Structure formats: structure tokens, C-alpha cells
């Protein structure tokens, strides 16, 4: 599993030390701090912190028959561990919801990263999800930008 790191990020942010269940207010505050850009055609996420590229990670978005929405969103509900209400209680570590039931979250099916495999959520390796979660938590939220 490849992970490219571009900028210095504190250890506590990479480990997801700061966890909690919270709702963030405005997208304006998030846009200036942490932005997760998902490119569905490449199955990659680039994370920007204060406009500087910090990470480039493989993801899995919706497989055939499912849908990952394109657009710009703000992270709302965040949970260190969430269980899917729709898909048999499947674990969703470091879940960051951005549009209804759609979330960025960790997955234990890391062999599928880099190709379409989800029911619509954006899946990351558990450590990458923890790092993003910690960054968003420490910076007052995050923006999510998804494109084909």
C-alpha cells in the first residue's frame, strides 16, 4: 500500500489521537484548513492542508451498480467508529460523513484500494483514515471535493 507524504504533519494528527463525535458548522472554515480531493477516475485522494499538498492515497469509491456523488461538501458528523445501519453493521472506522449516509472511512478490505469497490462511500486504509480524521478534528473540519 503506497502513501506519499508531502508536508510535515504532527504525529498526533497522523495517529488520529484526537477523536470524538461532533458536527462542524461552516464549509468556509473547513475550506481554508483541510481539503480532501477525490479523483474517481484515478481512485486517489489528495489531502491539502492550508492549500499545501500533504498526502496522496489510494481509495475505493462506488463499484458498478452504486454511486459516489460528485461535488463539494463539508464534513459533518464524525465518529471514531461507526457501524453501517444499511450494510449489516459493517465497521466504518474514523467515519467522516459529508452527504447524508455518504462518508469517508477506513476499510479492512485494503486489497481493494485503488479500484471501485464500495457501496458509495470513500474507503481508505485504516491508518490513512485515522490521519485524515485527526487533521479534520484538529483544524475545525474539512472540505470534500469529489470529481470523476
Q: 93-111 pLDDT, tens per residue? A: 999 999 999 999 999 999 9
- Inform me whether the pLDDT recorded for 10 exceeds 80: no
- Kindly report the average pLDDT of the chain as a whole number: 84
Q: Mean pLDDT throughout 52-64?
A: 98
The 10 Å CB-count burial string (b at 16+, else e) for 84-116 is: beeeeebebbbbbbbbeebbbbbbeebebbbee
- Closest to 64 (Cα-Cα) out of 111, 103, 120: 120
Query: Which residue has 465518529 as its cell numbers?
Result: 79
Q: What percent of the chain has pLDDT over 70?
A: 78
Task: Check: CB of residue 104 under 8 Å from CB of residue 118.
Answer: no
Query: Which residue has 473547513 as its cell numbers?
Result: 30
This prediction's pTM: 0.79
User: pLDDT band at residue 32, thresholds of 50, 70 and 90?
Assistant: low
Amino acid at each position: 500500500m503506497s502513501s506519499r507524504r508531502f508536508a510535515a504533519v504532527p504525529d498526533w494528527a497522523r495517529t488520529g489521537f484526537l477523536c470524538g463525535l461532533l458536527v462542524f458548522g461552516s464549509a468556509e472554515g473547513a475550506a481554508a484548513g483541510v481539503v480532501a480531493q477525490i479523483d474517481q477516475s484515478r481512485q486517489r485522494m489528495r489531502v491539502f492542508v492550508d492549500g499545501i499538498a500533504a498526502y496522496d492515497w489510494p481509495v475505493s469509491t462506488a463499484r458498478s451498480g452504486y454511486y459516489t456523488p460528485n461535488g463539494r461538501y463539508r464534513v459533518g458528523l464524525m465518529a471514531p467508529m461507526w457501524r453501517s445501519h444499511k450494510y449489516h453493521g459493517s465497521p466504518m472506522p474514523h467515519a467522516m460523513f459529508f452527504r447524508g449516509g455518504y462518508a469517508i472511512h477506513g476499510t479492512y478490505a485494503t486489497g481493494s484500494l485503488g479500484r471501485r469497490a464500495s457501496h458509495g462511500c470513500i474507503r481508505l486504509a485504516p491508518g490513512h483514515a485515522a490521519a485524515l480524521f485527526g487533521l479534520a478534528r484538529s483544524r475545525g473540519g474539512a472540505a470534500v471535493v469529489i470529481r470523476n
